[in-house]
Amino acid sequence: MCLGIPGQIVEITDEGRQMAMASVSGVRREVSLAPVADRPLAALVGEWVLIHVGFAMAVIDEHEAAETLEALRGLGEAQEALEAMAEGAKSLEQPA
């Protein structure tokens, strides 16, 4: 089963590579905007997207994002993915 999680684009990190920082329930993660780059990347800042394996697969509205996150939390399916993202973020913060 594929799981897409809603996240909000908070900044463009590398325009040339079409990469951005997304916030997913407070966890920040770099994602590729290539699948949704049908407009200037700066126009995507603040937009909600459905993220799967590091790619923003679709732009969704805020209401749909909130409903999807709530449904995933209710099912417990998002928890494991969010915990893995948080662990990944912690490992990036620790010095080598």
Q: What is the pLDDT of residues 42-92, one digit of tens each?
A: 999 999 999 999 999 999 999 999 998 888 777 776 567 777 777 776 766
Span 5-93 CATH architecture: Roll (2.30)
Considering only residues 36 and 96, tell me which one the structure prediction assigns the higher pLDDT: 36
User: What digits encode the pLDDT tens for the residues 1-53?
Assistant: 467 899 999 999 999 999 999 998 889 999 999 999 999 999 999 999 999 99
Asked whether the beta carbons of 31 and 19 are under 8 A apart, the reply is yes
Question: What DSSP element (H or E) covers 28?
Answer: strand 27-32
Stated pTM of the model:
0.75
Long-range Cβ contact pairs of 12-16 (< 8 A, separation 24 or more): 12/41, 12/42, 12/44, 12/45, 15/41
First and final C-alpha spacing in the chain: 34
